[in-house]
Structure 1
Amino acid sequence: MRLNRLTLAQKLWLTVTVTVFITVLFTYLLSQFFYEKLYVDNVTSNLLLQAELLANDYEGGPISDSFKEKVDWYNEKNIAEIFAVSNPRELSACLPFDIDYDTLISSDEREKLLKGEPVKKEGYEERFDRNIVAIIYPLLDDERLEGILYVYLPLASIKDLMKDFTTFWMIASFLFIVVSIFLGTLWINRLIRPLKEMEAAAHSVSQGDFSQRVEVTTVDEIGQLAKAFNEMAAAIQKEDESKREFLADISHELRTPLSYVKGYVQAILDGIVKDEHEQRKYLGLISRETKRLQDLVQDLLDLTKLESNSFEMEEGPVAFAQLIEDILMKYKIRFQEKDITLAFNLDPDPIIMGDERRLEQILQNILENAYRYTPNGGKITVELTSQDDHCIVTITDNGIGISEEHLQKITERFYRVNKARSRVDGGTGLGLSIVEKLMKMHNGKMKITSKIGEGTQVQLIFPILSEV
């Protein structure tokens, strides 16, 4: 359809124009209809009133000459034509147009007259070249129809009545249409201005300029759309910056272990390292960096699934204290290697709904950080307590601690507190980001508090199953 090729402004302008024209035309026709109707009703009421007043002078019996003279006298003073006759057939001699008695008063109308009810007549009369309206009023004497009053008046042509009105109406309508279209065009341009701005901004965004914003000047639907566009552009900009930062971080994280692996392998291949003991040492370093690459790739896969809501969980009731104790046993030997004291106090009652493998991943990430940043001879404490409808796992260490500045960003991807240590014994930098998302999937919360030189405390809060 050609209408589909029009712009929104053109469609709105067309709508306003058509609406104005239809409104003017409809109002004109409606005014004509009501004007004519009111005019005819007024004439009819006036004729009926005159007939009633004259009928009041009728004293009964046959229609007398004196009564007819009164009617004739009134007829000479009045615009309408009024006749009093004993027999309707006499009207043919009085009226200036032919009349058919058989059609003048039907049997039903005669019954109405006998009941004292007037009869209204309206129709076209060729002699006058217009419609006439007439009232036939009964003159009754003891339920006997002695005669009738016939009152009629040619109706003025509606064209005559509306001539002056139509001229005025056409001038006023023309001015109304011009002003309406002018103001409508201004209003339409004002309405679509934000849409044009959004169109231009959207084009810029599609070209990669995510800094584009549109001005929000109203609170209507267009204003809300502009606000939504700005929010969308801000979200896309943030996501783009996050993606760029993420890719840069991945490149940076992969570069270090790959550089180590490449250097160690090249040293062995070039024969720089000939001693078997040194070769095994280099192979051990290659294995360590390969393990780091493997952990990084696995964490990236997990984080990607978590952020795309495609991470699958196999939930079921979990005896939380037993799960925590099993995980701590795996760390017992590692803690002994650094002479770290492990203390735990676990409430055996809490039962939670969760995925055991993912809960183990959460706890291992937190314990791994506590182990990594707690010095030799330090202490790590693990507690499980119950409070009302939730339980709290508290993991406390007396390690190096984290400043308030870093605590605000510690769950961001690839964020590390100590950049220097991260290259040697740090993790992938994704652990806490994964933990935070896994906690949300378990309807839980994570709270981290820390002080430099005193240590760090992590609280993991989970809802408890009310019934198992």
Structure 2
Amino acid sequence: MNVKIKKLSISQKVLTLFLFSFIFSILFSFLFIHFLYKDLYIRSVKERLVNEGQRTAAHFHYGSLSGDIKEKIDWYNVISSYEVIAVDQLEELDQYFPYRIDYEHLLSDADEQKLLNGQYVLKEGYVHEFKRNIVGAIFPLTHEEQLIGFIYIYVPLAEIPEVFRKGIPVLVITGTFFFIVLYIIVNYFVRSIFNPIRMMREFAKEVGRGNFSKRIQVETSDEIGELATAFNKMTESLEKQDERKKEFLANVAHELRTPLTYIGGYTRLLLDEAYESKVEAKNHLQLIDKEAKRMQKLIHDLLQLNQLEDPNLTLQKEPIAFSQLILDSLELFTPSLTMRNIIVKTDLDDEVIILGDLNRLQQVLYNVIDNAIKYSYDHGTIHIRLIQQDNQAELTIRDHGIGIPKQDLDRIGERFYRTDKSRSRKTGGTGLGLSIVKEIVNLHDGTMDIQSEEGKGTTVILSFPLVEL
């Protein structure tokens, strides 16, 4: 049974639950009607019967049961729904009521003893001759504390259909109408709930096949609507990730294709000894070495990006004197600055302390300063400024070089994106430097903003939270 239930769909389970609920409601209605019959109807009949019997017995205060009294009782039987039998002795009851109740004699020894003691006896049970149950009571008649006779008053009980003759048709009609209305409502809600789920199931199969283009139409704002919205957002996110993955693979293939072509071509020239001098052969080897190093750097940057995007990455943060870190990083560029006659002017606040990973922040500074130098004109100037601004350490690095076209600014920081591919190849760039910078800055709860104008230079603004002292 449990296995069969597991094989049912959710909508089938809901409809099954509805069916069982309806059956339970019918069963409950039957039991309730039976309760009304047994507890209310029969109890009320007994109460009326006892009251009627006690009132009737109270009228017989004569010395004996005369013929006139019995005639009055016969007349009472004609106009009343009750049957009344008056006898002088208990043995006479069998003559007037020669039936058995539940296949037993009317009176037991215990019943006779109660009557002789002046108490009434209530009798209830099935009478075969009447083909129904009856309720009756036997009352002792007394005169001046003397037992003068007995009266037996009884009434056949109506069957349940008779008691509820008017109510049952109403109950059936109302129940049928209720069932139809409830079924329509439940069926509507089942469809409204499970149609989006069925669509999600079908769309999930499409997503599994790599098709991220379909979206679920959201028609409600309930939990199912929220689930459908979340599914659409998830699909949209997967679609973007898939596009990025394809773009990433295409970019990697493109980045590797050129150096591999160079390496393959010049290796073939060297193998075929297609060169005129050892100097030319050495130039070929140097070019091969340069392209091999470019590929090595590309792979190294990709591994770094992958590591930085790992949610389990833990930074080794410590308080850092930011200005000193900037000066230490600048020393690494002394040869290239001297060779191109580029001047670096600094305005650094020595009191700026931030919490960060020393090695990672040095990567940030190296990449940003390296770009400023690469894309500056010879004999140019680079300005570096560090200040405290609204509980933030704000570092500004501004060059006066070639700048970035306005249409490319929004894409700066994307993987492999370069505004000047030919120039980047000459400088050894992979298009991943600022992507790495962006990830490291985010890991330090910082921000990066790039402002540029083509032909006039670029300004990079980095902000990091200050250490709370």
Structures share a fold, TM > 0.5?
Answer: yes
* Residue 102 (structure 2) aligns with: none
Of 107, 126, 136, which aligns to 1:100?
107
Partners of 1:139 and 1:311 lie apart in 2 by 103
Partners of 1:248 and 1:237 lie apart in 2 by 16
Q: Which amino acid in 1 is paired with 2:360? A: R
Whether the aligned pair in 2 keeps the contact of 1:54 and 1:71 (CA below 8 Å) is: no
Partners of 1:138 and 1:409 lie apart in 2 by 110
Partners of 1:336 and 1:110 lie apart in 2 by 136
Residues 247-301 of structure 1: CA distance to partner in whole angstroms, max 9, x if unpaired?
Answer: 1101111122222333344444443444444444444333332222221111111
What number of residue pairs does the alignment pair up? Answer: 461
* Residue 344 (structure 1) aligns with: 346
Residues 363-421 of structure 1: CA distance to partner in whole angstroms, max 9, x if unpaired?
Answer: 11111111111111111112221234321111111112223321111111111111231
Partners of 2:60 and 2:282 lie apart in 1 by 142
Partners of 1:140 and 1:376 lie apart in 2 by 139
Partners of 2:312 and 2:405 lie apart in 1 by 34
Q: Measured at CA, do residues 461 and 131 of structure 1 come closer, stay the same or move farther in structure 2, by a change above 3 Å?
A: same
Partners of 2:457 and 2:56 lie apart in 1 by 117
Partners of 1:11 and 1:153 lie apart in 2 by 51
Of 239, 246, 249, which aligns to 1:247?
249
Partners of 2:408 and 2:287 lie apart in 1 by 30
Q: Which amino acid in 1 is paired with 2:263? A: V
Which blocks of at least 5 consecutive residues in structure 2 are unaligned?
Answer: 100-104
Q: Measured at CA, do residues 156 and 393 of structure 1 come closer, stay the same or move farther in structure 2, by a change above 3 Å?
A: same
Q: Does 1:290 align with 2:292?
A: yes
* Residue 431 (structure 1) aligns with: 433
Q: Which amino acid in 2 is paired with 1:46? A: R
The structural deviation recorded for 1:430 is 0.8
Q: Measured at CA, do residues 374 and 110 of structure 1 come closer, stay the same or move farther in structure 2, by a change above 3 Å?
A: farther
Partners of 2:147 and 2:376 lie apart in 1 by 126
* Deviates further, 312-321 or 408-417: 312-321
Whether the aligned pair in 2 keeps the contact of 1:20 and 1:180 (CA below 8 Å) is: no
* Deviates further, 323-332 or 308-317: 308-317
Q: Does 1:361 align with 2:368?
A: no
Of 386, 389, 392, which aligns to 1:387?
389
Residues 330-369 of structure 1: CA distance to partner in whole angstroms, max 9, x if unpaired?
Answer: 1222212111111112222232221111111111111111
Partners of 2:191 and 2:397 lie apart in 1 by 63
* Residue 79 (structure 1) aligns with: 81
Q: Which amino acid in 2 is paired with 1:395? A: I
Partners of 1:119 and 1:437 lie apart in 2 by 97
Cα root mean square deviation, aligned: 4.0
Q: Which amino acid in 1 is paired with 2:398? A: T
Of 426, 435, 448, which aligns to 1:446?
448
Q: Measured at CA, do residues 159 and 292 of structure 1 come closer, stay the same or move farther in structure 2, by a change above 3 Å?
A: same
The structural deviation recorded for 1:54 is 5.1
Q: Which amino acid in 2 is paired with 1:343? A: K
Partners of 1:404 and 1:270 lie apart in 2 by 48
Partners of 1:200 and 1:326 lie apart in 2 by 58
Q: Which amino acid in 1 is paired with 2:45? A: V
* Deviates further, 131-140 or 418-427: 131-140
The structural deviation recorded for 1:37 is 3.5
* Residue 459 (structure 2) aligns with: 457
Partners of 2:382 and 2:65 lie apart in 1 by 132
Q: Measured at CA, do residues 178 and 461 of structure 1 come closer, stay the same or move farther in structure 2, by a change above 3 Å?
A: closer
Of 370, 373, 376, which aligns to 1:371?
373
Partners of 1:91 and 1:41 lie apart in 2 by 25
Q: Measured at CA, do residues 393 and 52 of structure 1 come closer, stay the same or move farther in structure 2, by a change above 3 Å?
A: farther
Q: Does 1:322 align with 2:324?
A: yes
* Residue 230 (structure 2) aligns with: 228
Whether the aligned pair in 1 keeps the contact of 2:65 and 2:148 (CA below 8 Å) is: no
The SS at the match of 1:408 is helix
Q: Percent identity?
A: 38
Q: Measured at CA, do residues 92 and 283 of structure 1 come closer, stay the same or move farther in structure 2, by a change above 3 Å?
A: same
Q: Measured at CA, do residues 465 and 146 of structure 1 come closer, stay the same or move farther in structure 2, by a change above 3 Å?
A: farther
Q: Which amino acid in 2 is paired with 1:232? A: M
Partners of 1:328 and 1:206 lie apart in 2 by 50
Which blocks of at least 5 consecutive residues in structure 1 are unaligned?
Answer: none
Residues 151-170 of structure 1: CA distance to partner in whole angstroms, max 9, x if unpaired?
Answer: 43221233554678768877
Q: Does 1:263 align with 2:262?
A: no
Aligned pairs (5 A) from 1:7-46: 7-46=9-48
Whether the aligned pair in 2 keeps the contact of 1:62 and 1:86 (CA below 8 Å) is: no
Partners of 2:191 and 2:131 lie apart in 1 by 53
Q: Does 1:215 align with 2:222?
A: no
Partners of 2:140 and 2:372 lie apart in 1 by 116
Q: Measured at CA, do residues 288 and 160 of structure 1 come closer, stay the same or move farther in structure 2, by a change above 3 Å?
A: same
* Residue 132 (structure 1) aligns with: 134
* Deviates further, 382-391 or 425-434: 382-391
Aligned pairs (5 A) from 1:130-279: 130-134=132-136, 151-158=153-160, 160-161=162-163, 188=190, 191-279=193-281
